[in-house]
Every structure is written in C-alpha cells, then in structure tokens.
Amino acid sequence: MILNTQKKWARLGGMSWDEIRTRLGQEANKRWDWARYRAGMDPGRNGSRPRATAKGRFFFSNDELTSRLALLKVHLPGQVDRILDQAEQICAHRFSLLGYESLDYGREIDWHRDAVHGKRAPLAPWFKIDFLDFEAVGDHKVIWELNRHQHWVTLAKAWRFSNHAGYVRELMEQWQKWHEANPYPLGVNWSSSLEVAFRSISWLWMRELLENCSQVPSRFEEEIVRRLSLNGWYIERYLSTYFSPNTHLLGEALALFLIGTLCPEIPDAARWRSEGWEILLNESARQVRADGVYFEQSLYYHVYALDFFLHARTLAAGNGRQIPREFDRTTERMLEVVSALAQLGPPAGFGDDDGGRLFDPRRNRAEHMTDPLALGAVLFARDDFRSRAELTEESIWLFGEAAVENLCCGRRGNTRPEAKEFPAGGIYVMGAAEPMPQLLTIDAGPQGTGRSGHGHADALSITFSADGRRWLDDPGTCSYMQKTERSSLHGTGAHNTLRIDRHDQAVEDGPFGWSFTAKARAERWIKRNTFELFTGSHDGYQRLPDPVVHRRTVVGVADGWIVRDRAIGSGRHQLEIFWHFAPGLRVEPTGNAFIAVPAEPSAGAKMRLALLPADDQLWNSEVTEGCISPAYGVKDSGAVVRSNLHALLPSESAALLVPLPKERAEHGTFRAQAASSVPVGVTAYRWDRRQSASWFIFSDLADPWTVGAWNSDARFLYCRVEDNRIRHLVAVEASFVKLKQTAVMEHKSRVDSWEWSKLEGKEQVSCSDPKATAAAHGALLAVDGALLYT
C-alpha cells in the first residue's frame, strides 16, 4: 500500500500542468456524464443540423462502388468467397475474434461477454470497470474485438456481392440490439476511446456500402449520424493524450478526421476534422523514430500505426487536402522498414502482437504484416514496395484500378536480400544470397517508449528466414491477461538471445510496463561485398550484484553465419543461450550439431538449417520444447535448442547457422581453438568440412596478436580455405595482416574493413580505404592454403 502510494505521488510529480489539468477534467467529465444519465438526461450531444456543405468524399464514390466490386470478383474471387462464408457465420452468431476461431455467441449476442473464458463484464458506469481485472471482466480484448463492429462491414460487403437481403436484416437487428445493450455511459464497451473510434470507422464503411439499400430503414441515415455525433463528442472529450499516447491516440484522431470529413452536418464536424488531422501530423513526428521505426518497438504496432496514417493520407488527398511532405516522408520510412523485413516473404515480428487490424481483422498474422506495402506501392510509385507486395482487398477498395495495375503480378521477392540498418530503432537486417536467399534480423534498439508496455526483454535477439519460411522465430504475445503466459513470452528466455542467472534483461512491472529496461546499442555495423558484421551490447544485467555486460557479434559470410556471445563481468553465473525454431520444424541432434527440417515433407523445400554450437565440453546443449504464438490467443509449440553453462566470468560462446541444400548432408565440425594456443583476449574458432575449412578469429586487444600462421592487429579475421587454396579473407579494424610472415595487407593506420575473395572463379579485393587494397593482391595467390593446417 505504501509502495503504491509512493508510485502514485512519483507519477504525479512527473506530470506537466497540462497533463494534470487534462486528467482532472476527464475525471470530472466522467462523473458529470453519469450524473446526467441517472437524472434521465442525455449525457452527450446527439443533435445534427441540416447539411450545410457537401458530404466529403469516401475512399470511393457511389459510382465507383460497382467497379470496385467487379475488380474484387475478377482478381480476388477467393476473398469474395471468404467474405460470403464469414457472413454466413456471422448470421449464425459464430465469430472469429483475434486468434480465436468460431466462437458461438448463441441466439442472442451478449455484447459484454468474453466467450473464450466464459466471463461477463458488469453493466456499470464505464469508468468504474477495471477492464484489466481478468476475474471480473475476462479478456477485455475479446469483448472489444466483437464490439469494433468490423463484422458489420463484412455483412454489408456480402450484401453488395450477393444482393442477399438476409445479411442486411441481420445487420440492422444487431445494430438495434447493440444500442439497447450499450447505452452511454454504461458498460465496458465505452471504457476505451480507441474502441469507440474503431466502431465509428466501421459504421462509416457500413454507411457507404449500404447507401441506396432498400432494406435499410428510412430513419437509419439520420440515426447513424446522430450516433456518430455522440461518438465524436466522446472521443474528443476522452482523447488518449496522456493515458495511451500511442496507437490509441492515432486511431482516435483518425476517427475524428473521418467523422469530421464525412459527416459535415454534425455541428462539431469542422473542428473534429481539423483536430484529427493535426493530431495525426504531430504524432507522426513524435511517435515515429527518425529512421521510420515505430517507437513502441513492435512490428505489429508499427503496422497498426502505419495503417492509420495510410488511410488518413488517402482520404485527405481524396478530399483535396494538402499533404505535408514530411508526413509523406515519415510514412515512406515506415514502409521502408516493412519492406526491408519482408524481402524474403512474411517477416518475423518483434514486440507485442495486438491482434487487431484497421481494415480486415482476419489479416492478423505475420504474413499479413506486408499489407501496407500494397497501399504504399500505389501512393508512392515505388518499385521496392511493389516487388514485396501483393494485391489485397484493401488496396482495391481504396484505389480500384490503380491497385490492379500496380500489383496484379503479385509478390516478386529479391534474389539477393539487401542489408539494411535502422539505427534509431535498432533494427539491423543482414542478407545472403548463397546457397539460397537468407535474411537475419537483429534487435538492438530501445525496448520501447515510456514504460515500454509493448516491448519485450529481447535485446540482441535474432530471427532468421530462408527458403520462403521463418526458421528462428519470435515468440509473439498469445495473451495480455494470462499473467504467466504474458511474463513468459515477453521475457528474455522466449527470445533468441542470452539470459543470465534466469533473470530477464528487464524488470517487469505489471502486464504493460517495466520498471527497468535494458539499453542496447550497436557498436559496429559493416556491410561489404562479401561479408556483413554487427556488434552490439546491452546493460540489462548491470543491475546484478556482480554486474554483467552481454556483447554479441554476428558475421555473415558465404559459408553461413557465426554468432559470438560474450558475458563480460566477474563471479560465477549461469549462462543460457536460446534458439527458438519456428513451428512446423523438427530439430534433430546429430553429434554436436542440431539439424532443423520441415516436419511435413514438402516437394518445394530446398534446405535444412544446421545449428552448430562450438564444441566445448563446458557448455551443454539440448533440445527442449517452447511456445510460439502466431496470433493473439493462439499457442503453438516449437523446438528450442538451449545451451547452458555455469562458469566464472568473463566467458563466451559461439555458434554457426548454416543453411544446407536439401541434397547436401555435410555440416562439418565447429570448435574453439585450445586456449593454450591463443593469447589471452583472443578467441579462435575453426570449422572443418570435407574439402574446406574456415577460421574465425576475434580479438579484444589493442595490440597485435599471433594465432597459428596468422599475425595481425585485426579485431576480427576470417579465412576460408578450399582445396588447399585460400578463397576468402576478411579483416576488420586492422592495419596489417601477415600469413607466415608474408604481408597480405598493410596500411599506415587501422582501416574499418578489408576483404579479398576468389569465389566461383571471380576475384575481388576491396577496402574501406581504397589505398590499402594494392598490397593484397599477389601475396594471397602465392600462399599455399595448406600451410594454415600446420
């Protein structure tokens, strides 16, 4: 009790006067609304006046609606069939909400019920309902998802496709009964301004789709405008300016902008239109980092926010509003993030998975996170967006024939993924082309913003995709309300990174907050012709009695990927490194390697993935089972390789990720060179195959070092030998490299990177400083690679 009081006073002390004034005003308004309701008075402003100005333009005019329907039938007939199937389920009161399928709501829909957990929220003043109290309410997200009324839009679409009057009758009946069951200000469905905003957007779509429908009562137009007037009044009155100034505020602003634009007969429409647009412009600058990464550090929330911006921008342009260049540039940057992560198809996520979507709530899995690229391809005429997008229902509704012209050829992925960095958001994307296109993503950004409510304790976690599928995956969310699952899936052990002493990198403080978060930073990022390198660290374990720093280096070369983890500190600690494989993969131990293969044989599968932890008797590696949530409310199992060590620090480990063509069985052996053969501060790893070998040498020294035949001051040295000839050589932060006392590269000062290769008969040499390349050429050709084995 004392601690909670102290927290409240500390929170109050950190508020600005405007925040205090806003919060106090909203608290007073809540009680005033309730008092008016109890007195039998109208608590809101439901009036309208004769239309003084022309109705704003929706995403399509009534004349264009027919062509939109025809385009969908021709180009996306399967989606039309799904809409009709969904409409039949809706008429039977069976709903698919979030990740939960076919929930039976019975003959009479209870709009306050969580049908998943069998709990019902009380019909009390909305501000007295603690919607985070699972025992009293259930999972409020399930209740709210139904009450967003996006299924009403489905019924309206189904009527347009089929002309079946039963869909409209069902919609009108639900409309009437919902309002009877949810009088303002009663019930959990008024507890969030964002939910009122989503309802409003659904109603606006429904209104457009039902225009001129003879089955709609004549009073419906007047009634829906009156109801939208109440919604807009409520949203403006209870904006999430300080409560949840993130996607909540964006969705509310979008609803105000849409209502204000499309319902000019409402007295406050002009103000809402201007206010909503200004909030969207201001928040796009505040909520999106300079590189385009959304500040909640969640791919799902990134796409959530991007959807709001794209719909607002499209409607604004259609109504003649000038679009500021900086707003467009922010939107493009956000699309660039999605594009980079989707180079090989559906991206692996990071952070929380909300489960909802602005346009189609059924498109709520990783493979649907690329939807905004379809809109971006049309809006910005960018080939990179177009090549990674596909024609979607949403794009046809918003852009009609322009969407078909831009996207009818479908997704065309790159054959060679491109390395991309987003330093403000800490997202680093590394790519490789051989033996098949691969994409590895590293999360080295902040955990989120504020209390990081939707960020995970996942600093330096990686995900990996190749051959059209994800191999190393992110855990997702599953539930916000089940405390054990929530803690588990957003904790460090659920991610592909290092955990120390079974502690998360961050300290949890409730389901939507952390009292301490790790600060991660990228220390080195190099992308060159024949290799890519990332090094980063975080301070999440500096809080331990014996403080520890985790530093991770990832290097991508033609051979594969090496991941080196260092735990820098003192004292004895337990170290665990996790590798979470995507569902649908089977992982088999083979000697010191772990081979991942698709669980179901597929004629199209071209590869397997080998994970080779360095052969070290101190580390123990085993296959266990973990949980991955592909959508909110859904749990799936996946194999986990866990490497474990109790040791005095400092300590380190390394592992190789090697994509193996289906027909190639050999993965070789990977081991650390004996400590006695390398200087203190230097670690060397060797990977041996039948006809080739590779060396990876890491130095934490400022001085030169000697390992075997090599002498250098490089911080990282890589060499690949094949058929007794050197084929690939890389040096990072080096002024010289010598092999058997022969100078391979020399420069008057350290250069960031230098590389030489002769792969598949093509020879190339390059350096971050061009003056350092000349000394490399002849020396390498003269050195017999067999000398490296002696």
Percentage, residues of the chain above pLDDT 70: 93
SS (H, E, C) 720-781: EEECCEEEEEEEEEEEEEEECCEEEEEEEEEEEEEEEEEECCEEEEEECCHHHCHHHHHHHH
Distance CA 512, CA 317 (A): 36
| Mean pLDDT, rounded, for 448-474 | 92
Which of 130, 129, 96, 128 has its CA nearest to residue 115? 96
Q: What pLDDT score was predicted for residue 790?
A: 40
CATH of segment(s) 416-662: 2.70.98.70
478 or 703, which is more confident?
A: 703
Helix axes 269-287, 220-237, angle to 10 degrees: 50
Question: What is the helix (H) or strand (E) element at residue 395, kind and residue range?
Answer: helix 393-399
Query: What does the pLDDT look like over 568-612, one tens digit per residue?
Result: 999 999 999 999 999 999 999 988 899 999 988 776 678 899 999
Q: What pLDDT score was predicted for residue 484?
A: 79
| Mean pLDDT, rounded, for 306-329 | 97
Distance CA 719, CA 693 (A): 8
Q: What pLDDT score was predicted for residue 774?
A: 46
The yes-or-no verdict on residue 664 having pLDDT over 70 is: no
**Which residues touch 624 (CB under 8 Å, ≥6 apart)?**
639, 640, 641, 642
Q: Are 538 and 505 in contact (CB under 8 A)?
A: yes
Record the tokens describing residue 4, joined without a space.
């909670």
Residue 772's pLDDT band, with cuts at 50, 70 and 90, is low
Q: What pLDDT score was predicted for residue 295?
A: 96
Query: What does the pLDDT look like over 40-95, one tens digit per residue?
Result: 887 766 555 545 567 899 999 988 999 999 999 999 999 999 999 999 999 999 99
Query: What does the pLDDT look like over 582-592, one tens digit per residue?
Result: 999 999 998 88
Q: Please, where are the H alpha helices in 321-382? A: 325-341, 371-380
The yes-or-no verdict on residue 411 having pLDDT over 70 is: no
| Mean pLDDT, rounded, for 642-671 | 89
CB half-sphere exposure, 532, CA atoms < 13 A: 22
| pTM of the entire predicted model | 0.94
| Mean pLDDT, rounded, for 129-133 | 93
138 or 781, which is more confident?
A: 138
Query: What does the pLDDT look like over 717-747, one tens digit per residue?
Result: 999 998 888 999 999 999 999 988 888 888 8
The yes-or-no verdict on residue 778 having pLDDT over 70 is: no
Per domain, the residue ranges of the chain are 76-191, 294-414, 416-662, 673-790
The yes-or-no verdict on residue 163 having pLDDT over 70 is: yes
| Burial class, 752, CB count within 10 angstroms (exposed 0-12 / middle 13-18 / buried 19+) | middle
Concatenating the DSSP letter of every residue in 654-685 gives EEEEEEEETT-----EEEEPPGGGS-TTEEEE
Query: What does the pLDDT look like over 210-225, one tens digit per residue?
Result: 999 999 999 999 999 9
Record the tokens describing residue 423, joined without a space.
């330093």
Mean pLDDT over the full length of the chain = 91
Record the tokens describing residue 252, joined without a space.
């509310």
Q: What pLDDT score was predicted for residue 336?
A: 98
The yes-or-no verdict on residue 311 having pLDDT over 90 is: yes
Q: What pLDDT score was predicted for residue 777?
A: 44
Q: What pLDDT score was predicted for residue 19?
A: 80
Q: What pLDDT score was predicted for residue 456?
A: 93
Q: Are 696 and 654 in contact (CB under 8 A)?
A: yes
Place of tokens 């680093």: 428
User: For residue 80, what is the DSSP state?
Assistant: H
Q: What pLDDT score was predicted for residue 394?
A: 98
The yes-or-no verdict on residue 9 having pLDDT over 80 is: no
Percentage, residues of the chain above pLDDT 90: 73
The yes-or-no verdict on residue 782 having pLDDT over 50 is: no
666 or 321, which is more confident?
A: 321
Q: Are 455 and 503 in contact (CB under 8 A)?
A: no
